[in-house]
Amino acid sequence: MAIEVFAAAKINLALHITGRRPDGYHDLDSLVVFADVGDRVAVRAAPDLSLALSGPQAAGLSSGEDNLVLRAARLLAGGGAAIALHKALPVASGIGGGSADAAAALRALAALWGVALPAPERILRLGADVPACLYGRPCRITGIGGAIAPLTDPLPGAALLLVHPGAALSTPEVFAALDRPDRAPLPDRLPRFAGLAEAAAFLAAQRNDLEAPAIRLLPVIAEVIAAVAAQPGCRLARMSGSGATCFGLFDRRTEAETAARALGRARPGWWVAAAGLAARP
């Protein structure tokens, strides 16, 4: 019997880069939520470890030894398994696709093999986003990704529009293009929001510090943000993570779905999805 786990898209509502460590890693302060669109990882018992890819975005992904799903499996070291990854999220798109897949693989394989999940410091070796994707709930992330604090309803009643222009960005190149790595963090105490209007106003006063360097490397991102912001009902438009996916916040899913249809018609080469917030894993 196969064990299947959903790998939800990760959305950085705000991403402040607050410092650079001597080892080259950057400290960050980020607010994260998860969408109900994503990939799926299924595992079943097998004598050897293997990975099969499917889905509309699978062509952009390698099934070689550097795949994060296989790296996650080797980190658990539980034995053999046939792993199937259905890839719906764009590759290298700033919404944690690879990290979410690795986290889903850890959950599924731990259940299949009857083993405990690795210690947080070992999980962090897979990437800065993997611990948060394993947590899978609204959270604030600080440090290099391993310090996670829960958030209570950061987007009351929100719907999301996700848009990717079809061009990948290298995360190391985006970080290298930062003009300064030591900007101010988020406020120490985050407010409680009575509704999405309050949440959007607060987020508009925050930043994604990787947005400007990403736009310099891939100018179409600015076009995506403007197109999302122009959709009726959009309260905030911003890039997620290191790009190139951008998101819009809407009060209702029907508004996000209408915007997705409009952008899908206007920009058939873009990946467009309407989403709600993912349920707790």
Q: Computed from CA positions of residues 100, 194, 205, 219, in that sequence, does the dihedral angle turn out positive or negative?
A: positive
**Rounded Cα gap, residues 38 and 97, in angstroms:** 8
**What are the CB-based long-range contacts (under 8 Å, 24+) for 61-70?**
61/85, 61/87, 61/91, 68/98, 68/99, 68/101, 68/102, 68/105, 68/126, 68/127, 68/130, 69/41, 69/101, 69/102, 69/105
**Rounded Cα gap, residues 255 and 260, in angstroms:** 9
**What are the CB-based long-range contacts (under 8 Å, 24+) for 145-148?**
145/28, 146/120, 146/121
Residue 190, phi then psi, degrees to nearest 5: -90, 140
Establish whether 87 is a catalytic residue: no
The active-site residue out of 10, 27, 29, 101 is 10
The active-site residue out of 27, 29, 39, 129 is 129
DSSP secondary structure letters along 200-250: HHHHHTS-BTTHHHHHHH-THHHHHHHHHHTSTT--EEEE-TTSS-EEEEE
Establish whether 66 is a catalytic residue: no
Cα separation values, 37 from 52, 118, 181, 185, Å: 20, 26, 31, 29
Task: For tokens 């959305």, name the residue.
Answer: 11
Residue 139 structure tokens: 């959270």
**Rounded Cα gap, residues 184 and 222, in angstroms:** 23
Asked if residue 102 lies in contact with residue 126, where contact means CB atoms within 8 angstroms, the answer is yes
Active site amino acids = 10, 129
